[in-house]
Amino acid sequence: MDVNYTLILEIIVIVNSALAFVTVFREKRDIAATWAWMLVLVLVPVVGFIAYAFIGRKLPKGRMFRLQHQVAVQLDERLQQQRDQIGNQIMPADQISHSVINMVNMFMETDQAFLARKNRVRVITDGHKLFHLMMEDIEGAHSSVHIEFYTFYNDKIGNDILDLLVKKARSGVEVRVIYDPWGSLGTWKSFFKPLIDVGGHVEPFLGTQSAVIDFRLNFRDHRKIVTIDGEIGYVGGFNIGDQYLGRKEKFGYWRDTHLRIVGSGVFALQARFMLDWNATDRDNPFRDDRIETKYFPLTKVKGETSLQIVSSGPDSDLQQIKMGYMRLIQTAEKRLWIQTPYLIPDDSVLDSLRIAAMAGIDVRIMIPDKPDHAFVYRATQYYARQLAADGVKIYYYHHGFIHAKTMVVDGRIASVGSANMDYRSFKLNFEINAFIYDAAVATQLEEIYEADMRQSELITPEKFDQQSVYLKFKQTASRLLSPIL
């Protein structure tokens, strides 16, 4: 019997296309991601569906966050107090502007992000200094140490921090750790057994033991949070691993930006950790009794920095950090300086950057000169080339790998945190950023940016034009997949 291979192939194509259509359109998502997945499923049969099973499906409603009652009540009370005061100039007069007040109100409305005043903030750009300070603070803890990281590697610095946490837990300090199993590949829960054995608590984010068998690789806990006694907090771009200390030849020197916060801003970091913990460990949650006195102690700090801690993730459709980035872009009058390892903006952010540049704003974006993810890097190059043509100054950082996620506007306001300038951080990852209303900190970030420029190269439109046809093809092809990278 003759086999009609052409007919069989046609049937496979038709069935595959039909399944692709049903698979993609049965879940609500933006049009760019919809067509990107259609492209993958139709052009790469079978393999495309395997990829979709791991990274294409949306987070189920049953695993969305449930706000812990007492924490939510405290946030609501603090928020209402500030809503009552917002019209009475609760910030110093030199920080008051309609744009700042509007941004504060926006975060209050969309993320319950109260305005934390009078903080002491230290900007840290070197991993050795960061981990020295952090471990020194943990060493001095007397009540609690809460740690949440995308990456907690089983390497030298990871073991050094683990040993310190074991020591503190053995002395009676409450130690809780949340790690992301995908970001911490190679680190099994058995790594934390010495800490668990002495009374510490460790959980993979949302209780997922394995990033592989979870079948939902997209929704990662990309946050980086440390709180110590509810009085000292850390947030920014560094993770826990030797590569963040420049010990990996592939990356060389690791250039990142992190904040050490002392003051009421730690209240928000603590609350975020507690909400994440209660969503992750249903058997050992934070409870109502003693929450206020133990985890939110009264602190009298003589600082100068006002800030808001803002979270976003797939548990909300508001994309709060992206909204903050767009508001910062729209607020710029003279300068808008950005550092990001991944530059894959959606159309709304892309248009905002273009408008700012065409309006005469000094828009600068600094990205790495080397990849850590091939497709993501080529897509980053594509958007860098497009923005350079519109008047944005693109800098390639040459002194190692730049992983900082910062934005500073006119030496007045700034953002530092975990969120990149890409689709993944906007829509898929759980992220956290500090939005800072302090000219002194913003000016310091500008000075750091200028120092980084001396280690960077300005890539003009002419230099982009000189790139090979093959490189431009790879950039364009990667761009087609950018909504799902």
User: Which residues are the active-site residues?
Assistant: 222, 224, 229, 403, 405, 410
Question: What are 21's two structure tokens?
Answer: 């259509």
Alpha-carbon torsion, ordered 235, 238, 239, 242, to 10 deg? -150
- Contact (Cβ atoms closer than 8 angstroms) between residue 378 and residue 478: yes
**Can you list the pairs that 183-192 forms with residues at least 24 positions away whose Cβ atoms lie under 8 Å?**
183/149, 183/150, 183/151, 183/220, 183/221, 183/222, 183/239, 184/149, 184/150, 184/151, 184/152, 184/153, 185/211, 186/153, 186/154, 187/152, 187/153, 187/154, 187/158, 188/154, 191/154, 191/158, 191/162, 192/162
Measured CA angle at 10 (ends 6, 12), to 5 deg: 115
Single-letter code of the amino acid located at 289: D
Question: What are 405's two structure tokens?
Answer: 């996620």
Task: State the Cα–Cα distance between residues 92 and 333, nearest whole angstrom.
Answer: 21
Task: State the Cα–Cα distance between residues 322 and 422, nearest whole angstrom.
Answer: 9
Residue 84: exposure state from Cβ atoms within 10 A (0-12, 13-18, ≥19): exposed
Residue 177: which residues within 8 A CB-CB, separation 6 or more? 146, 147, 148, 152, 165, 192, 195, 200, 201, 202, 203
